[in-house]
Structure 1
Amino acid sequence: MSCAVGVTRKPWSLPFVAEAEEVASLRRLMRLHLGLWGLHEVIDDAQLCLSELVSNVIAHVGVGTPATLAVSISGTRLRIEVHDPDTRALPTLVDAEANSEAGRGMALIDAITDRWGVQLNADKKVTWCELATGLPAVDGHCGGLRVTRAEALLSVYGNERVLLPRPARSGGLSVAVAEEAAIDMIADVLHWLWAHGCDADEALDRAQTHFEAEVGLTGE
């Protein structure tokens, strides 16, 4: 599993024109952003949802409709929204036949998402859906609770390093800096064990045993 360290997942949005030619570009942009967010496992489903939501606007509101794509993290879910100006053409979930092209879009979204809905405002309609990400928290890491806790500690160690360039402190740590911070952190723990009369080698062996057992159980 590969995730960015200290990743910040800020909401983003993009105006577009509802045309078939725009779908491929929007899908590429979605893949790029989710890759940077470390959410590789949901990219395919997110691209499918995006395609269906945009196609719904094209089919039921009209080609050339000005619309907006908005992507954010809602709780620990990935939220995808498509905004359009028509508050009358509401997407509905229909029981379409298996070989029918019409009416399958929202059925697909209903099948692969945790939830979806439509929000009506005075000047626009927002059709949205949410996908589970497996994140333990909004700014969390996809490696589980232990990785999330370690990441919080590494951010402290990394930002206190004397040789860490000042501009890097405004964002997340790079993997290289985080690795050096992890070594510092382990060394400090060994110093603490030694100062309290504990056997550092035994502690390392026990920690290694726990790590190997847990990785083996989770398959990570």
Structure 2
Amino acid sequence: MIYASEFGGRDPWGRSFAAEPCEVAGLRRAVWMRLTLWGLPEVVEAAQMCVTELTSNVIKHVGAGTPVTLTISMAGTFVRIEMLDPDARALPTLLAPGRDAESGRGMALVDAITDHRWGVIPREASKVVWCELATDLVPSADHTEGPRAARAEGHLALYGAERSGLVSPSGRLGVAVAEETAIDLIADLLHWLQAHGCDPDEALDRAQMHFEAEVEAGS
């Protein structure tokens, strides 16, 4: 059995390019090479299809020639694909097109391939469309999530949905998205503490002490 922590060399990889149909073949080759080097041949075909669809979405809904950046990284045992483009308004939507429809199939295909693990991160002047693919890796024993981590993930999903309404249909967040959401949530909690006459720095110190004590007790 292969554990996620047993392989090194899976540093995030990215490529910036102009969204043109002629770029797709090169992107597919690059995806094949990267995931093969990572020892993840089982997700190559699915990753190529996702990259193709995300690129086609940019070409069709933002415009040919749009500068974009593709990033592939690991999110735990999942392969995470991100496509950054400079248009924060043209958000992808999940449609149920009819048999003869000429559009609307792109994100439906991504949704099916990734088992609903996709979403959008809106920014002030850009957006990131992401999706995650399951691999044959399993979490190593030292990265198993406990009940508190699982409960925190549920809180983060609800918080992210309330702030933006743009979380994946599965309700789960990728690690990078969850990290940004957690930082926002912590900042909001500090504002709440300050508004109610509490000391945010003292609260952070106490939380850190609780965390370190629980980690030490668990180990």
Give the match for residue 131 of structure 1: 133
Q: Distance in 2 between matches of 1:49 and 1:101?
A: 18
Find the residue that maps to 2:133 and give its secondary structure.
Answer: strand
**Correspondence list, 1:14-25, <5 A:** 14-25=15-26
Find the residue that maps to 1:103 and give its secondary structure.
Answer: coil
Q: Distance in 2 between matches of 1:68 and 1:13?
A: 7
Q: Distance in 2 between matches of 1:79 and 1:44?
A: 14
Higher gyration radius (CA): 1
Give the match for residue 38 of structure 1: 39
CA drift at 1:92: 0.2
Find the residue that maps to 2:90 and give its secondary structure.
Answer: coil
CA drift at 1:134: 2.0
C-alpha distance after superposition, 1:138-161 (max 9, x if no partner) = 8xxxxxxxxxxxxxxxxxxxxxxx
Give the match for residue 74 of structure 2: 73
CA drift at 1:121: 1.1
**Correspondence list, 1:113-152, <5 A:** 113-114=114-115, 115-137=117-139
Q: Distance in 1 between matches of 2:47 and 2:78?
A: 11
Q: Distance in 1 between matches of 2:76 and 2:99?
A: 34
CA drift at 1:56: 0.1
Q: Distance in 2 between matches of 1:7 and 1:98?
A: 44
Query: Can you give the 5+ residue segments of structure 2 that lack an aligned partner in the other structure?
Result: 141-219
One-letter amino acid matched to 1:86: D
Q: Using structure 1 for the length normalisation, give the TM-score.
A: 0.59
Q: Distance in 1 between matches of 2:85 and 2:130?
A: 11
CA drift at 1:123: 2.4
Find the residue that maps to 1:80 and give its secondary structure.
Answer: strand
Q: Distance in 2 between matches of 1:70 and 1:55?
A: 16
Query: Can you give the 5+ residue segments of structure 1 that lack an aligned partner in the other structure?
Result: 139-220
C-alpha distance after superposition, 1:38-92 (max 9, x if no partner) = 1000000000000000000000000000000000001110000100000000000
C-alpha RMSD of matched pairs (Å): 2.0
C-alpha distance after superposition, 1:108-147 (max 9, x if no partner) = 0001103000001122110000000121238xxxxxxxxx
C-alpha distance after superposition, 1:7-40 (max 9, x if no partner) = 4211111101000000110010000000000100
**Correspondence list, 1:51-200, <5 A:** 51-114=52-115, 115-137=117-139
Q: Distance in 2 between matches of 1:80 and 1:100?
A: 27
The percentage of aligned residue pairs carrying the same residue is 57
